[in-house]
Structure formats: structure tokens, C-alpha cells
Structure 1
Amino acid sequence: MKIETLKQIKTHLEKLNKKYNFVFSWIGLKKSDYTVFPIVISKEHEDYLKKLKLRWDDSPYGNAPVGMSIKTGEPKYSNNTLEDKKFELVYELLKEKNFLSMISIPLFNNNGQVFGAFVAYKDEINFFTQEKIEEIKKDIQEIGKDLANIFKEDMQIEERLNEYLNMLYDMITYINKGTASDVNPEYIAIDILNDLDKLLDADGSELIVYNKSDNKLELIAASDLFLENFEKHSFNIDVYGGLSPFVKHYMEKEDAANIDYEKDPYASKWFIDKGLKFINYTSINAHVYDKNTSSMLILVRKKEHWLSEIELNILKLINQALFSVFVIGKYLKDIGSLRLHIEEITTKDPLTGFYNKEMFDLFLKNEINKTISRNMPNTFSCILIDIDNFRYVNEAYGYQAGDMIIQKLADIIKTKTRNFDILARTGGDEFGIIMPDTKIQSAKLIMEDINETLKYQPISIGDIEVYINVSAGISTCLGKDEKNQDQLVCSKEEVKMFAEEALREAKRSGKSNVVIANPKNKNQSLTLSKYDLINKAINENLIEPAFQPIYDLKANTISGFEALCRIKIGNNIIYPDAFIEDAEELGLINKIDLTMIEKACARVSKLNNKDLHLFVNISAKAFKDEHFFEKIVDISKTYKMQNRLYVEITEREHLSNLENFQKVEEFLKYYGVRFVIDDFGSGYSSFLYLKFMRTEILKIDGAFVKNIVANNTDKAIVNGIDTIAKELGTKTLAEFIEDEDALKELKNIGIDYGQGYYLGRPTFDLESML
């Protein structure tokens, strides 16, 4: 029997199902990116495939029966899937579907090369005997050859069009970086459409983006051939008074299809008279801000030309990518201004306008390098400041009052320092100052002047006057090389550690004091004490997770928790800002992360609700330990947290090898552990991460969320991130939700999950939140 169309092949597939009583079968094509694309599927259980990751590489997915049959060219099967460890992660799904045995048989083209696989499932065990396998191979031999002929040209087209998809994703990245801020999305679309016409032998193509909420055309781009052959766009006020009937009708369908235009009831006489006979189209719908928006990509033809399922799927992907470019271009069109804004929020503290901790460290390193090059000690001062008893101020007057106090203190610091001094907010109630060309004795006088001002100048909060005072530690670059006493040596870590030790001494001395660091005990520097503290926390079981609830904003229920690291020594709690960075520098951070993950999993696994998810944070240092992620998998298995454990990696971390990161992500996902991008939007490489990561959740940087009600730019960025996430099938999670107005705004945008003080503060008492 000679089979010439996909419909005939699908009919043949149903006959095989009937002959062997298969409960489900499908045919997949081997793709150049090491994935397997299901191209023909029997009528039932299609949802099963959507939950699988089908590959033929050397990843755990690629070593499953389908991938192995494609790689080896031999049938691979299991006669008891529920007892087979290769199916451990999909056990529940197999059980639900009653897929008790399965087989994957490679398909060969006329040259004897594997190009895909036939896969079938049975609802009984021990079905696939060697005799039965040979019989099935014989039945599918003809279908394999015919499929190879049908898809030979399609696969070539797919590879050619993949180049354009990569170009589109690169363009998104360039726009995000600001390097293509002068590129108009319409010009990009026209270039792509012109190439599509050539590749798919069309007589023209057109992209239409339409705001249906406001009945407003947002973008229309037509290829050169389209305008040459048909003169008018599908949207033309003079001719149609709006959308053409055809576009208006099919834009609603969110589909990809072939249309006989001459027979279509919505066809326009204008285009028929110009010779239009056949159309291939794809349409998608999404919410941009709160506006219901559609994007429609149309190929027009003067003769009948049916696109295969592969070509239509590729057309849909190109439409999605072009729509993403449009979204970015629309809401980030003033990219120069946006870059300045992003730089502002990624380098500055939004509350005070001072530099943040990361920038303080960078400036300190630069100042030290300048001092070393001059070989002149005590030529700058590093000051670390801490507000005394600030926790009690927050508890007595509230966090909003606390923010006002921090702002007023920042104003005082600014008036007492010079324009070229580096001012930073390095923590919740901590400040840092770098004073170039200033000896530490002079810096001490400035700090004493600040304390004197605070002593006689209370800070007004409404009708209340609050008196505060600060403690400070001061250090500089004083070290000498042991071999060459004329050579100056020091490091950022050393200068900061001595300043921190001086600050602690100031607080121990009764607070409201200023202490200059004493570097005489250099060999017993603070590094050792921090090393001992962190080791003590690890070895004596002092690391404890505090849990903050994460809410499903649509269901208004707790969907999971984020575990936040704390060190508990008696009644004292040490927060991560005080030790995480040091743990990374001392090489102890992975021990802390693994201890945290195990303790958090142990606690959550004991809860009655087994649907609750757990979010844990890890350092980028984890990627330098080849066994770290194996240990996470072991912990997940021990506490039965598969498909419930989410690992957060901050988008600010610089991952030097994204491809290696992708392999780790696939390894974890195979064992039921998912990655989450934390602080998404805080850096320049946000959308580049999406190209390499298949994250299920984007955690939007709290800097955008905190002022979302009052700041339209923050609102636009959150909305844009959510729109793109929806296009990629990714959920969004907003942190730093601190009041009801922010919560309402996020719900209106469509954010999926949320966390913050308004919804629930971190607590050690996990059970009390349920």
C-alpha cells in the first residue's frame, strides 16, 4: 500500500492500534536539535505527550526507550513500565493511563538512516515478545519509507527557517541589552516576511498586530511581494473601514491553517480580483497590559499550496517570536531611557538614591587598586555605618516610618560629605562611605559630626520626633608586603573585614561610637572568626530555614513556601546578609545550601498537604561542584519531594557557561527538580536566560513590584515580563508585595503567584501558616 498524505498515515496508525490492541501510538521525527517531534498521533491520550520531554541526546531524557531506539537503530521496549526504573518520573502518569508496556521502533529512510520512531503502548504486561516485535516491524516498514519521502523536503525547510527563529531570539536579546534601540519592529518584520516569501514560495506575506480591546491597529507589516501583487494591506481605513472580514474572523480562532480563499465566505472581492486564491495563516492572542491583543501572520498565494503540519508549526513560532519583538519594542521603545532606568535600579538603592552593596564593593576595589598603584597608605577611608537599635524603631513605628528614617539619615550623610565621595546603602540599616584622598582621622571627625547632628536634630515622622544614633567603623589600606616593606598590599575583603570589626567594636563600646580599625592583628583577622562562625553553624546544626508563604493569586490559597536561611544561636538570629557573601568567599556556601535544602525538605514533607511546593535558593558556586546537584536529587528522593522542589538561581548571578547550565537544568528536571529564575529583570541578560532555560516560573525582581502602584515604568516592566512569560508558557511570581494596592495591581496584570510581608512574613513555625 502506498501512503501519500498524513491523513492516510494516521488512518494506518489507527489500523495498527486495532490490529494489536494498542491503547495509544504515535510517530516522532528526529530533529537536528536532538529533540523528537510527534508528527502523527492516534486519537486518544495526546495529553500524555505534552507532559514528556522527548530527546535523543545523551541526557537522561535521551536515554529513555524512544531516544535509545533512534540512537541505536534497534527496537527498545519495556514489558512492565511500572517496575522499570527508566519510567520512575512518569510512574503516576503511566499508572493513570494504564500504559503497562511500551515499544519504540526506529524508522529508516531509503538510505538506511534513522529519521524517527514509531511508539506504541499496551494495557497489559509482557506483550512484546521477539516474534511480536518482528511482526510489528514488518507492518511499519512501508509507513517508515513513505514518511521519509514526505518529510524529506519539510525537514530541509525546517532547518532553514530555524536560522530565522534564532535571528529573532537574538534580536530580542539585542533589544533587551539596548544595542538595537533604534530598530523598528516593523522593519524587522518586513525583512523576515521577505525571506519567508522566498523560502515558502509565497506571493506575499503580512503581519498584523491588533488591539481588540480598543479596536486599534498596533502594527502592520507587509512583504515587498504582498504590496507588489495586491497593492493594499488587509487593514485599510479607506477601503474597509477597519479590519477586513477575513482577518477579523480568523484572528479570533488562534489557530494555524490552510484556507481556500476563493471559497471562503469572508473573502474580500478586492483581493479575489487581484488574483488571491489561497492563504496559509496563523493567529495568536495575548494580553499586553490589560489589552486583548492578536497577532496574525498570513501567507497569500495565487495558486493552491497546502503547508504541512511542520510548516504551519514553524509559521506559528515565527508569529510568536515577531509578536515578542513587537511587545518589547512597544513598551521599551525609548530603550536609551530604559537602559538608564535599568542601570539606576541595578546600581542604586531605590529608597535613598545611594549606590547599592554590589557597586560599593566595586568602587572599593577600584579605590584600593588606585592606592596600590600610588604605593601610598592611608590615602582613602572606608566607613561602615549601622543605625543603633533600628529593629526596635521598626517594631515601634512600623516599616514605613523606618524607611522615612533611613531617607532622612541619607540626607544628613549627603550634606556632611563631598560630591565625589561614594555613598552606598549596603544593607537594611547599614551604609558605606568611600572617601578618596581622606585620612582615617579626618573621616572619624566627619562621622562624629554626623552623630552630633543626630543628637540634637530629631527626625520627624508626622507628629512624632524620633532620635536615632549610629555606630561606625573605619579602615583603610595599610598593609605592607612581608618581603618588601616598601610595597603596599591589601584587598577589598581585608579592608571591609577590618571596618566590620571596628564597627562591632563601636557597638560593643556602648553604640553611638566611631572606631578606627586596628590592623595589628592581621594574622588573626576577621576571616578566621567568620570561618569559625559559619563552620560552627554547619557542624552544630545551627542553620535553620524560615518559611515565607507563596500564594496562588488566582485561587487566593497558599501554593508553597520559600525557605530562607537563618543561623540561630540561642535566642539570637543571624540573617543571610551578614554571612552569605563571606560563606561564598570562604568556600562554605555549598555546605550551607545543602543543609538548608535538606532541613526545608524534611519540614515540608511532614505536612499533610502533599501538593505544596518548596522554593530554595542556591549560589552560582554550586555549578563548580560536579556532585552538588546529585546531592539535591538524593535529598529530593529521600523526602519524596519530586515535582515539588524548585531551585532559585538569581538572574544577577553571572553564569559563565550557559550551555553547561542547560545540561544541569535538564538533569534536575528529569528527577523532578525545577529551576526558577529569581530577581528576573534586574540585569541586562534577562531574555538571554530564557533562550537557554526552560524555567516554569519567573520570579520578578521586587524592585519593580515594590512601587508598582505609584510608578508607571515599574508597572510597564512587570506587565511586559508577564506578557512574554505567558507567550513562553511560563508562570510569573511577584515578590515584595507589601500592601493591598500592590496586590490588586498584580492580580489585574495577571501575575500567577505572589509573596511578601502583606501576604505573610517569614517564620520558623511552618505549621502555623496552614
Structure 2
Amino acid sequence: MKVEAFKHIKHYLENVNKKYGFVFSWIGLRKSDYTVFPLISSKENEDYLKYVKLRWDDSPYGNAPVGMSIKTAQIQYSNDMLKDERFEPVYELLKKKKFLSMIAIPLFKDNNQVLGVFAGYSDKINFFNDEIIHSISKDVENINQELAKIYKDEIQIEEKINEYLSILYDTITYINKGTASNIDPKYLTVDVLNDLDRLLNADGSEFIIYNKTDNKVEMIVASDLFLENFSKPSFDLEMSGVLSPFLKYYMEKEHVANIDYEHDPYASKWYIEKGLKFINSTSINTYIYNKDTACMLLLARKNEMLISETELNILKLINQALFSIFVTRKYLTDIDSLRIHLEEIATKDPLTGFYNKDMFDMFLENEVKKSAARMISNAFSYILIDIDNFKYINDAYGYQAGDMVIKELSNILKSSTRASDILARIGGDEFGIIAQDTKVQSAKVIMERINERLSSQPIKLEDKKIYISLSVGISTCFEKENQSLPTSGFSDDDKAQNKRLSKVFCSKEEVKMLAEEALRKAKKSGKSSVVIASFQDNDTEYISKYELINKAISEGLIKPAFQPIFDLEDGKIIGFEALCRIEINNNIIYPDQFIEEAEDLGLINKIDLLMIRKACERISVLNKKNNSKGSLRLFVNISAKAFRDRRFFQDVVDIAKEYDMQNRLYIEITERESLSSLEKFEEIEEFLKYYGIHFVIDDFGSGYSSFLYLKFIKTEILKIDGAFVRNITKNERDRAIVSGINTTAKHLNTKTLAEFIEDEETLNALVKIGVNYGQGYHLGKPTFDLEKFFQ
């Protein structure tokens, strides 16, 4: 039934195209994640769907006709797409494709819920009128009926498949418990595959497991129909026990659907002769006992038929279940071995074999507890190691060479320490050591010897010699003065007894903080530096800052100050830059007193999000109160650490939505931050832009390759480094640089913003150059009182 339904839909689609002269049409399914899944499209111009965002949420893309049709369950159309702002991101593409008008018609399930959408495109302006819309709607009803049939079939298929999955997972459980050793899952698998063929209208299915290291097939099971149609399983086709090129190629990929076997360069002539046209498949790659093992579930069809999202999910689930059965039987007969293997994956760094960051933290906590229980200070050494200038090794020799350097250094560290010492890789180029029963002074000697060894013995990579050095910070658990200990009302003997019984030792967090501070000092001191943290009572500033930062976050003491940003052409305020402050006990603490420590402690993202939330709330209230129609923009700075956490940017989007700041929120970053991982930056930039949030390149011009960066980074605003702006009336070179930046920006359709405008002469010079926006003490100092700018 399903094959016929697809044929009918394709036939109806072709008829609609011919009847109305559409240059392109397609059918999409509404998905729960607010995207639209293209199910079938006409051949000509089908690549259009690769370049557009298909959504039905409240984003700009979701407000186009396709998204609005799904959301409103009504017909939507645009009779002049090149003048429709909703299509602005793809204007050039529309011109190229000659898409001038379009219509979107909702498709419904039997229960009248929206199932998907039909979209048709005309090369004529004002093509759609009431008569044509009514006629197209009637023709699309046939498509709707066939699509509803498919959907109904898929519900029944899912219910049946769930029964089989339940049986399969029960079998896995029995095998794990060792109570079903006499069960051969092969027969159960054949039954499942036979039913899979029937339910999904396949001409056969097979399941393969193979070892990628030696390219040998480990296991294969085929359905009865597969063997009937194709005579033998695929791994016997060319060389017995060796994977065919076709399967080898596709097993490198995950969840492959709709492989056109007839036109695929990897396909086997033998299969084509048997009439096979399409293979739908899903694959899993995993590691078992350091063997690279993979599996694939193949669904073969002689007819041209696209696999649906539901069917693909079914294949994934059954593939996982079958894989679990065979792996459990073949490799994991001893459940203890499985537990050891999983623990190793969860606790070890795969490149070095050292413990990972989470395990290192756990070991540190144990050492701190032991020190406190024994009441002994300096009982172990906590060592943090950073490879100096490791980024340049990656840039000069490539990431593969960087990995080899990490591997070689791990061998050196292992050979230079004792078996009882705990070694960990806690970051890309960062290591940690817990040296038990080792005082910090001894640990320093050990690390200095390692640096001496590295200075005289380069790491050899093929024909290259790479010299490296380490910056090292060392701390330990120490006794602190108990400030809460009562000193009045007790005799001297009682005081001494109380002090002895109430010794207070530092926490795990404090040991880490002190080591991080020592490492920071080591980096500032130059290469090969080893620094021991200071533990004196008068050197507890770093710990105090940790307590301050934690208090500011937990009690919401982050307070944004606002500096106005003006349009230099008309003198009006366009928005504000929010500057982070901490207010505690009526005292204001500035960023230079806590930002660097917050980054070291891993708390900077929490501070940034709290600051963004409070600033958005203030600007949102101001927009409503002053009837500014939401025109005021907000500029905020974030740390480079944010780029390591995708969740951070999702939180920013959520905040912008909550306070209606979409299309008004600008995030300032430096060139270095944006290019430290260009691919990741581009991905995040696209994600934020989708929700109307933009990046501003801050301090532009301060880097060595500033103009080169513009080749890769698209930004709405360039913020010119204040070092050039403040002397623009006195230094011709500075003036020329600012003028050059401004000219380049204009050619790129980018606005410019100058900071550090401190007098009228500087302001006039910037206006003459043509800089768009400005900020500085001459225009307005940072303040908590936003209202004064609108009185």
C-alpha cells in the first residue's frame, strides 16, 4: 500500500506542476522539533531546499509562507517574493531560480491535525488569485489523501516494531544475566528481519557486523526474502569474508538513507543485474576491547521509493538492538569485562590513557579528606601543567602532530613519576599530577628536571624535532586559621585544646584555585617556569575572590552599568553597552578585580549570563516605558570561554526571547576569540543570527591580521579599537588607520563604532570620516541610572 501511495503522490505532484506551470514544487512533513522535512520534490530546482531554512516556529524563517501555513493551518502565499522581506536572505537565489511567486497549502491527518505542507513556485509575479488558489487546493486534496494513508500505515508499523524491540531487548537482558546461554539469537533475528521486510515493503534485509581493522566480516544474518531475491549475503559477493567496496564505503557513514544503488559508483554489478535499485540503511560504529567494530542493517528495495523518517528511526532502533545482542554474545560473555571496559571509557583519556578531568577531581577530593583526617599539611602535591605555546605547534605542524606531541609528553611524564602518582589529562594541552606523600618543594624539583630534559631532548616526529617547555603551578592542602573559634571566656589551656581539636583544612576548591593561580603566575614569568602557590594567611586574596564571585552569582549581586552609544549622524542614542560590575555592601567592584579569576575558576559563563539577563531586563523596561518601540539596542561583552559551551548560546537566545530583545542584542567579541575556532564560530554565528542576535567585532585593528579576518567573518558592526580613536586629532597615522577601517567596512556593508570619544574635537573628526556610531566619556559615562538620558 505504501509503495503505491508514494507513486500516486509523485504522479499528482507532476500533474500539478504541468497544470499550473510551476518551476518547482515539493511536499514537506511537519516535525516536532519545529523543522519541516522535505519528503518529495520535483526534480528541477530541487537543490533550492539545501539553501533555505525550513521551519515553522516563531523565528524569521518560520514566518515565511511554509511555516505560517503549518502554524495557522491555512493557505499562505506571496505574489512578489523579491519584495517580500521574509525572503531577503535568499533574494539572489530566488532571482537565479526565477522564483517570483509561491503558495503553501497545509496537508492534514485524518484527525484534522496539520501533517505537512505542499509548496509550489511560479516564475510569474502576482500569479495567485482567488480562482487559481481554489483550483490548486482541489488538486492538492488528492496528495493529502495519499499522504494521510502513509501516515496511518506508519503508526501501525511503529506499534508492531515496538513489540519486536521489546523481545530483542529482553533477549539482551537474559544474555547479560547468563540465563539464556542456550538461546541462539540468530533465529530470533531472522524472524524479525522477515517481518521487517513485510512491514516496510522491502525486497529483503540483512544485518552485518565486521572488524574494520582487518576488513573482515564477523557476522551476517539475512532475511529469507533477501536470500530468495539475491541468492547470497553481500559479504560473499566478491571475496569470501571480505567486505565489498560498496558496504565498506557506506559503513563509514551513520544512518544513511535512500542510496541510489543503480547509479552509485561503489555498487556491485551483480546486485544491479538482480534488479536492486535502492538500499536504505543505518550503521553503528563502536569500540570493543580496542577493536574497531561496526555493524549495518540494510533494507533492499527493487522499486524507487524514498525512506520516511519513521522508517529510518525503526531501522536505527532495530540495528542497535541486534548489535547489542551479537556483541553481548560474541565479545561480552563475561559481564565483568564489560563493566571494566565501560569504566575505562568513562574515566580515561583515549589518547594518553591518563585519567580524565572528572576522575582527577575525585582523586583530589580523596587526598584532601585524607589530609584533613590526618591533620597534616603539605601531605601531597597537586600539580597543574600547561604546554607553552602549544597552539603554535598545531598551527605549524597540524593537529595530528599536536596529538603526537601530547602522546610523547604523556610517556615522559609517566617515566618521570612513580606508579603511585595519579596522572591526568584535564584539557587539550593541560595535564595534572597528584604526587602522594610528596611535599610541594620536592614536586617543584621533579618538574624542573622534566623541563630540563625537554630543553635538551626534543620530541621527534618523523624528520622533525620539536622543542617544548612546560609552565607548572603547584599547591597542596594546608591548615587555615579557624576564624570562628571562640577566644574569650576560656583559659589558655582550653584555647590550645580547642585550636588543636578544631583544625580547619582548605577545601578541594581552594587547592585547585591556588594551583591555577600559581600556574597563571608561571605563564606570566616566561617559559619553563614552575611556581609553588603561597599559603600564608596574608596571601589569601585568590580564595577571597572565589568566595566573592560565588556570592555574587548565588545572591545575584551582578549589576550592569550602561554606557550610551550614539548615532553620530543625528546625535540620537541607538542603545547601550552593558558593563559588568559587582555591588556588595554598597561597594562597587570593577571587572579587572574579578574577571580573570572567574575565568580561571570556570565561573565566567555564569557571570556573563546573569549580566546579560539583568541588562536585557533593564533595556526592555526602558523600551516600554519611554515608548521607544523596542528600538534601543544592547551591546554586551562575553568571555572566549563561552565558545566551549554551546548551551551558553542557547541560554542567551532564551533570555533574548524572554525580554523581547531579538534583533536588538549584540554580542561583542575580539578577533582572537572569533578565529580561535573558525568553524565553531561560524556555526554559533549562524545559530544566533537565526534568532536575531548579532556579533560585533570589538577592538578591531589591534590584531596583526585584522583586515584578513574580514575575509572569513561576517559582522554587522566593527568596533574600532580605542587606541586609534583617542589620538585621532593628534596623530595622522591613527587618523589614517581609522579612516581605512571605516572605508573597508562601508564596502562590506558593515557599520563602524568608535569608542573612547573623550572630547569634541575627536567627535568632529569621526563625524567627518563618516564613522556611524560612537561612545565615550565625552558622550556619556557608564551609569546605573538609565533614566537620566531620557529626561
TM-score (norm 2): 0.51
Written as runs of structure 1 = structure 2, the 5 A alignment for 1:575-724 is 580-584=599-603, 587-588=606-607, 617-618=644-645, 620-626=647-653, 646-647=679-680, 668=688, 670=690
Higher deviation after alignment, 14-23 or 349-358: 349-358
How far is 1:256 from its partner?
7.7
- Look up the equivalent residue of 1:491 and give its one-letter code: S
Q: Are residues 458 and 326 of structure 1, via their aligned partners in 2, closer, same or farther at CA, if it must alter by over 3 Å?
A: same
- Contact kept in structure 1, 2:380 and 2:440, CA below 8 Å: no
Is structure 2 residue 127 aligned with structure 1 residue 124? no
In the alignment, which residue of structure 2 is the partner of 1:45?
Answer: 45
Aligned twin of 1:524: 541
Contact between 1:68 and 1:76, CA under 8 Å: does it hold in 2? yes
- Select between 321-330 and 189-198 the one with higher mean Cα deviation: 321-330
Tell me the residue number matched to 2:150.
151
Q: Are residues 1:363 and 2:363 paired?
A: yes
Q: Secondary structure at the match of 2:504?
A: coil
Greater relative contact order: 1 or 2 (C-alpha under 8 angstroms, separation 6 or more)? Answer: 1
CA distance 1:340–1:17, shift in 2 (3 Å) = same
CA distance in 2, matches of 1:28, 1:455: 62
Report deviation, 1:203.
9.8
In structure 1, the residue corresponding to 2:44 is in which secondary structure? coil
AA in 2 matched with 1:518: F
Aligned match of 1:475: 476
Opposite residue 47 of structure 1, the aligned amino acid is D
Q: Report what 2:232 is aligned to.
A: 234
Deviation at residue 119 of structure 1 after TM alignment? 1.8
Question: How far does residue 413 in structure 1 lie from its aligned partner after superposition?
Answer: 3.5
Q: In 2, Cα distance between the equivalents of 1:35 and 1:484?
A: 62
Question: How far apart in 2 are the matches of 1:106 and 1:443?
Answer: 73
Residue 512 (structure 2) pairs with residue 496 (structure 1): yes
**Superimposed CA distance per residue, residues 7-46 of structure 1 (whole angstroms, 9 cap, x where no aligned partner):** 5554444444344333222344556776545455344222
Amino acid corresponding to residue 147 of structure 1 in structure 2: E
Contact kept in structure 1, 2:24 and 2:45, CA below 8 Å: yes
SS of equivalent residue, structure 1 residue 220: strand
1:75 CA displacement: 0.9
Secondary structure at 2:128 match in 1: coil
| Greater Cα shift, 190-199 or 625-634 | 625-634
CA distance, structure 1, for counterparts of residue 669 and residue 433 of structure 2: 48
1:765–1:362 distance in 2 versus 1, CA, 3 Å: farther
- Give the drift of 1:443: 0.9
Which residue of 1 is the match for residue 777 of structure 2? none
SS at match of 2:124: coil
Aligned 8 A contact 1:56 1:67 in 2: yes
SS in 1 for 2:383: strand
| 1:272 alignment counterpart | none
Task: Give, in whole Å, the separation in 1 of the partners of 2:384 and 2:109.
Answer: 73
Alignment partner, residue 279 of structure 2: 282
Return closer, same or farther for 1:531/1:81 CA change in 2, 3 Å cut-off.
Answer: farther
**Alpha-carbon distance in 2 for matches of 1:294, 1:49:** 29
- What is the rounded CA distance, in whole Å, between the counterparts of 2:229 and 2:451 in structure 1? 78
Instruction: State the AA in 1 paired with 2:457.
Output: I
Preserved contact between residue 26 and residue 41 of structure 1 (Cα < 8 Å): yes
Whole-angstrom distance in 1 between the partners of 2:514 and 2:293: 55
- 8 Å Cα contact 1:380-1:434 kept in structure 2: no
1:521 partner letter: N
Asked if the contact 1:506/1:512 (under 8 Å) is kept, the reply is yes
Mapped contact 2:108–2:114 kept (Cα < 8 A):
yes
Counterpart of 1:525 in 2: which secondary structure? helix
Q: Whole-Å Cα distance in 2 between the matches of residues 210 and 467 of structure 1?
A: 41
Q: Which residue of 1 aligns with 2:776?
A: none
Within a 5 Å distance, the mapping from 1:453-464 to structure 2 comes to 461=457
One-letter identity of the residue aligned with 1:495? V
Deviation at 1:498, TM superposition (A): 3.0
Question: For structure 2, which runs of at least 5 residues remain unmatched after alignment?
Answer: 174-180, 251-257, 263-270, 286-290, 395-400, 487-501, 550-559, 562-594, 613-634, 695-702, 712-791
The one-letter code sitting in structure 2 at the alignment partner of 1:378 is S
**Paired residue for 2:705?**
765
Work out whether residues 89 and 672 of structure 1, in 8 Å CA contact, stay in contact via their aligned partners in 2: no
Paired residue secondary structure (2:299): strand
Describe the SS at the equivalent of 2:680.
Answer: strand
- How far apart are the structure 1 equivalents of 2:468 and 2:74? 80
Cα contact 1:473–1:506 (8 A) shared by 2:
no
Residues 69 and 461 of structure 1: is their aligned pair in 2 closer, same or farther, counting only changes over 3 Å?
A: closer
Higher gyration radius (CA): 2
Please name the residue that 2:67 is paired with: 67
In structure 1, the partner of 2:380 is 381
Per the alignment, do residues 150 and 280 of structure 1 end up closer, same or farther by CA in structure 2, a change over 3 Å counting?
A: farther
Residue 443 in 1 paired to residue 439 in 2? yes
CA–CA separation in structure 1 for the residues paired with 2:341 and 2:378: 34
Does 2:101 align with 1:101? Answer: yes
Asked whether the 8 Å contact 2:36–2:56 carries over to 1, the reply is: yes
CA distance 1:592–1:15, shift in 2 (3 Å): same
Report the RMSD for the aligned CA atoms in angstroms: 7.0
Measured in 1, the distance between the counterparts of 2:425 and 2:126 equals 67
By how many angstroms is 1:363 displaced? 2.0
Is the partner of 2:91 in helix, strand or coil?
helix
- Give 1:230 deviation, angstroms: 6.3
Give the 5 Å matches for 1:427-438: 432-434=432-434, 438=437
Q: Which moved more, 1:119-128 or 1:290-299?
A: 290-299
Change (3 A) 1:169 1:59: farther
1:184/1:329 contact within 8 Å kept: no
> Is the contact made by 1:186 and 1:219 (CA closer than 8 Å) also made in structure 2?
no
Letter in 2 for 1:494: E
SS at 1:647 equivalent: helix
CA distance in 2, matches of 1:337, 1:434: 28
Residues 1:412 and 2:416 aligned together: yes
Change over 3 Å in CA distance of 1:222–1:68 after alignment to 2: same
TM-score (norm 1): 0.52
Distance between the aligned counterparts of 1:330 and 1:649, measured in 2? 41
SS of residue paired to 1:119: strand
Q: Is the 8 A contact 1:100 1:123 kept in 2?
A: yes
User: Does the 8 A contact of 2:68 with 2:76 survive in 1?
Assistant: yes
Deviations 1:604-656 (A, max 9, x none): xxxxxxxxxxx9644644444455788998669999x9xx9743799xxxxxx
Q: What is the 5 A alignment of 1:329-368?
A: 347=347, 355=355, 357-368=357-368
Provide the C-alpha distance between the structure 2 equivalents of 1:152 and 1:505, rounded to a whole number of angstroms: 64
The residue type equivalent to 1:255 in the other structure is D
Decide whether aligned partners of structure 1 residues 307 and 764 sit closer, same or farther in structure 2, where only a CA change above 3 A counts. same
Give the Cα–Cα distance (whole angstroms) in 2 for the partners of residues 37 and 508 of structure 1. Answer: 53
Which letter does structure 1 place at the counterpart of 2:509?
Answer: E
Judged with a 3 Å threshold, the aligned counterparts in structure 2 of structure 1 residues 297 and 21 are, in CA distance, closer, same or farther, namely: closer
CA contact 1:254–1:283 (8 Å) conserved in 2 = yes
Q: Contact (CA 8 Å) 1:256, 1:283: kept in 2 or not?
A: no
- Aligned residue type for 1:222: A
Using a 3 Å threshold, how does the CA distance of structure 1 residues 91 and 337 change in structure 2: closer, same or farther? farther
Q: CA deviation at 1:47?
A: 2.2
